[in-house]
Structure 1
Amino acid sequence: MTRNDTRLGIWLMVATTFVFAAQDGLSRHLAETYNVWMVVMIRYWFFAAFVIAIARRQAGSIRAAAATEQPFLQAFRGALLALEIMVMVLGFVFLGLVESHAVFACYPLLIGALSGPVLGERMGWRRWTATAVGFLGVLIVLRPSGGVFSPYAAIPLLAAFMFALYGLLNRYVARRDTAATSFFWTGTVGAVVSTAIGIWFWEPMSGPDWALMATLCVTGASGHWLLIKVYEVAEAGAVQPFAYLQLVFASALGLVVFGETLRPNVVIGAAIIVAAGLFTFWRERRTARRPA
């Protein structure tokens, strides 16, 4: 049952971003100690169990949750998210949380840029300008003259592209499938894909790291549960800008826990990217409120 409580929705979104940032910190630590593929695989096992439980509750049965007229598209978006998570965690290992999230923050702009060819949506000159300004921010973060700019900088940018495409496919499949159906395919297909890759890279883990892995699995499930609650109590447009707090929380973890540095160009570039993204959200809300 949905209701409109913007204040509660904002607080839930803040909690969601904090949990996801903690998940990113745990993923970085474990992926540095072991390997990305195994860490994501185990995480997906727990996530798949959580998704199946939620799908059964919302749809009534697994069969009902899985029912779709577009199975190949659903399977593709589920596989795409699993691969995107692997790419992003790889970025944490090579670039750190601060710089990876600063680049990844451009994904809403990529959604806007790709909404035309993928969904047939029309973008006005203002949103195209915001997208161009946002990518200027990405260039400032990457600083081609030196610093963070390296082949590794392409990793979070690729993850942002993959996540943007995943977000657009979410909109596309939502035209014919329920959220429970999409959620079911996301978890189950992701578990299959991550297992097909990660099972070949199995490594023995120590007892303390198994405890951290269990914590990672719990944060993943609780983060998605909180996100579901966010959109149950508030409109997406009212709370979505607060999703950028994940950049703040993840950067704080990177600085305090992992000893990363905060370069001036990263701060300036990230601020430009976030400002452009917030403008894009504002334009979408304004356009949606106009009478047809």
Structure 2
Amino acid sequence: MSANVKGALLMMGSMVAFVINDSFLRLTEGSIPLFQLIFVRGLAATALIFALATWMGALRTRLSPMDRTLVGLRALAEITTSYFFLNALFNMPLGNLNAIMQVVPLTVTLGTALVYREAVGWRRMLAIVVGLCGVLLIIRPGAEGFNQWSLYALAAVLGVTARDLITRRLSPAAPGLSVTLGTSFAVTAAAGLASLTEAWAPIGAQNAGFIAGSAVFIFAGYFLSIQVMRVGEVGFVAPFRYTGLVVAMIVGFAVFDEIPTLLTLLGAVIVIATGLFTFYRERQLSRA
């Protein structure tokens, strides 16, 4: 099996794991207050990530002052993203939410041009504009299906974009797994403090199983995404991230009886096509 094939399989596995994680949280059906849910899931996930970081020898706390600042900002972006994403998760179709999140590679490309002044040619800029139009087809402003949760999904996109832009400025000396552990700890701690403002709900055996499953699969998603960076060419492997959208729509239909509209499917296809084109152009430019 070639390195590229291994990388593609790892990427698909990572995306599937993240979708299953979301599905387990969704199955709690809002019976557990949001901050309590994030906190309890975070405790389990952080423990698993800590064990993995220790096993891989990637647990380092000595970071440069700049890296420490960036890790703090990244954690803040992740906390914001978690709040908006999980609110959207419980209140809109799983496939629609994942389709909107697939625009992140385009917004990150746009962000590098606006924030870091990196050169982005007219072809990729056009792809970004077309991709954003695809998102508009999914959320359909002014239509009956558009509500505050669509705005929450867009806020989650901005949060992930900010997180990824901050990550690009981390030095190579900052181990990815240590950064992930720090972020997971920060999200868990913030949710724990926020949960003190609301009444806790008892967690039955079924919901405990859902939370445990969510923690295991988000851990698996992190682990596989780290392994992806170790094998294969990024330009070849990256497009396989769209596996998550296909799986989300299948799970949404099979588990939650969600049937995407034709406009949603069209918007998803446009977002995927423009994302693939962006990956293709970046690969060409890197080779040049």
Please say whether Structure 1 and Structure 2 have the same fold, judged by a TM-score greater than 0.5.
yes
Amino acid of the structure 2 residue aligned with 1:114: G
Q: In the alignment, is the contact (CA less than 8 A) between 2:24 and 2:210 conserved in 1?
A: yes
Q: Residue in 1 aligned with 2:181?
A: 184
Offset, 1:7: 0.7
Contact residue 87 and residue 149 of structure 2 kept, 8 A: no
Is 1:112 the counterpart of 2:109? The answer is yes
SS in 1 for 2:270: helix
* Aligned-partner residue type, residue 88 of structure 1: F
Partner of 2:191: 194
Q: Mapping of 1:75-224 within 5 angstroms?
A: 75-175=72-172, 177-201=174-198, 202-224=200-222
Aligned-residue offset at 1:287: 1.2
Which among 23, 26, 34 is matched to residue 25 of structure 1? Answer: 23
- Point out where structure 1 has 5 or more consecutive residues left out of the alignment: none
> By how many angstroms is 1:179 displaced?
2.0
- Tell me if the contact between 2:75 and 2:186 (Cα under 8 Å) persists in the aligned partners: yes
Q: Which amino acid aligns with 1:98?
A: G
* Counterpart-to-counterpart distance in 1, 2:48 and 2:212: 13
Query: Structure 2: any 5+ residue segments left out of the alignment?
Result: none
Structure 2 residue matching 1:257: 3-state secondary structure: helix
What TM-score do the two structures reach when normalised by structure 1? Answer: 0.91
CA distance in 2, matches of 1:88, 1:197: 16
Distance verdict in 2 for CA 1:174–1:203, change over 3 Å:
farther
Tell me how far apart the structure 2 counterparts of residues 262 and 127 of structure 1 sit (CA, whole Å). Answer: 28
Structure that is richer in helix per residue = 1
Q: 2 CA distance for matches of 1:250 and 1:195?
A: 29
Distance 1:59 1:188 in 2: 18
How far apart are residue 185 of structure 1 and its match?
A: 2.2
**2:42 aligned residue (38, 41, 44):** 44
- Give distance in 2, aligned partners of 1:174 and 1:264: 44
Following the alignment from structure 1 to structure 2, what is the Cα–Cα distance between the partners of residues 15 and 144?
Answer: 33
- Aligned residue for 1:172, secondary structure, equals coil
1:255 matched to 2:274? The reply is no
Please report how far the alpha carbon of residue 123 of structure 1 lies from its aligned counterpart in structure 2 after TM superposition: 1.1
Q: Which amino acid aligns with 1:101?
A: N
Does residue 1:69 correspond to 2:65, yes or no?
A: yes
SS at match of 2:65: coil
Tell which deviates more after alignment, 228-237 or 201-210: 228-237
Q: Give the deviation of 1:25 after TM superposition.
A: 0.8
**1:270 to partner: Cα distance:** 0.8
How many Å separate the matches in 2 of 1:37 and 1:31?
A: 14
SS at match of 2:30: helix
| Alpha-carbon offset, residue 235 of structure 1 | 2.5
Higher deviation after alignment, 247-256 or 228-237: 228-237
Q: Is the 8 A contact 2:70 2:169 kept in 1?
A: no
Please give the alpha-carbon distance, in whole angstroms, between the structure 2 residues aligned to 1:9 and 1:78: 27
Amino acid at match of 1:106: V
TM normalised by structure 2 equals 0.92
